Amino acid sequence: MQVAIIGTGFMGVTHVEALRRLGVGIAGILGSTEAKSVEAARELGISRAYKDFDDVLSDVTADAVHICVPNAFHYAYAKAALIAGKHVMCEKPLAMDSKQSAELVEVAKDKSLAAGVCYNLRYYPLNLQAKAMVAGGELGRLFHINGCYIQDWLLHESDYNWRLHADIGGPLRVVADIGTHWMDMLSTITGLEIEAVFADMSTVYPTRKRPAGGGATFTKAGDASGEDVTIDTEDYASILLRFKGGVKASLYVSQVAAGQKNALRYEIYGAQKSVAWDGQRPNELWVGERDKANNILIKDPSLMAPGAAAAASYPGGHAEGYPDTFKQCFRAFYDYIKAGDYAAAPTFPTFAAGHREIQLCEAILESHRQERWVTV
């Protein structure tokens, strides 16, 4: 397989590194300008720098396209790549609204191509272990789920990034950017589908300071004397969720939580046991008991369920983390392509999963605006 990378920022580089660890070839890379394409190709040791997106589509050596650009471009790029006969792995969210994402699901189906959305965080080995425990009945009947995904990289008024603007990133920011990761993870772990939501959101800074040249993700605060810009997306959201079957959940997400760099957490409570996991300590799964001592399972393939062990590339005591989730996500994607049976159930996050997350986002936004429960 040979892959064309679209985007030269944080995600583009992350995709390149993960693909190389799998032995998947990089056909070329495209930046926002030809000069950025050339610079990225030189820095990353990639042989081809694309001139523009048409250059990508005409590259017969590129079997697949990885889309790692601002959200507003996802729909058009994904659709064009599928029509050109290329498999697609797209960063989330899949599109700007559910009408676009629904169309992409159908295009992928019509073209009989693999089409995935990079909900990579479900691939932490201990998340898959929790999934196996739930499926095996170890937790018993599920009662409720709690969790959060919180960061601080937009804490200051002078912190700035393109994601802040609805016309580029979509009408929801923190929910779409990180909240959908949590919802995808918990739906994957429990096997349950969210059927209704009740949300309350807030924008801490109605205006922010935009530095000259814009800003980047996860950097130091910008110049406080920058240009004032109006912000039309949320910094924080608290969400109540109902899963089919009656399980209740609560989730809060924030990008203005001082000191929390990338805190992704959940607690799942059942009639027999509970499990809890923290993405900043990804190699530990807490298992709670009523009638005997609690314990912590340290990531160790020899002690884990087969499906979870398969996502752990290193033995017990050898930590695995964030970059490894991309590797495992892409492994599932390219193993599926290699098998060649597109009628088989996909083992990776599909465009249908991406479409579902956008439907959830739209229901959450409607709930916030109308201050009521909304059925998805």
pLDDT for 144 equals 98
Residue 216, pLDDT > 70, answer no
pLDDT for 218 equals 56
Give dist(CA 16, CA 107) in Å, integer: 26
* Under 8 Å between Cβ of 87 and 115: yes
Within the chain, which residue ranges are assigned CATH 3.40.50.720? 2-120
pLDDT for 232 equals 95
The CATH number of the domain covering residues in 124-321+354-370: 3.30.360.10
Over the stretch 237-261, which tens digit does the pLDDT of each residue have?
A: 999 999 999 999 999 999 999 999 9
* Under 8 Å between Cβ of 70 and 169: yes
**Angle 173-148-144 (CA atoms, 0-180°, nearest 5)?**
125
Task: Count each helix (H run) and each strand (E run) in the chain, helices first.
Answer: 12, 16
Average pLDDT of the segment spanning 35-55: 97
In 3D space, the residue among 120, 135, 185, 125 whose CA is nearest the CA of residue 316 turns out to be 125
Residue 217, pLDDT > 80, answer no
Within the chain, which residue ranges are assigned CATH 3.30.360.10? 124-321+354-370
pLDDT for 225 equals 72
Average pLDDT of the segment spanning 300-314: 97
pLDDT for 155 equals 96
Give dist(CA 173, CA 188) in Å, integer: 22
Would you tell me which CATH number, out of the four given (3.40.50.1100, 3.40.50.300, 3.40.50.970, 3.40.50.720), belongs to the domain 2-120?
3.40.50.720
Residue with the larger pLDDT of the pair 91 and 210: 91
**Alpha helices for 170-257 (secondary structure H):** 174, 180-190
Q: Mean pLDDT score of the chain, rounded to an integer?
A: 96
Confidence category of residue 226, pLDDT binned at 50, 70, 90: confident
Over the stretch 170-188, which tens digit does the pLDDT of each residue have?
A: 999 999 999 999 999 999 9
Q: Which residues pair with 342 in a beta bridge?
A: none
pLDDT for 75 equals 98
Confidence (pTM):
0.95
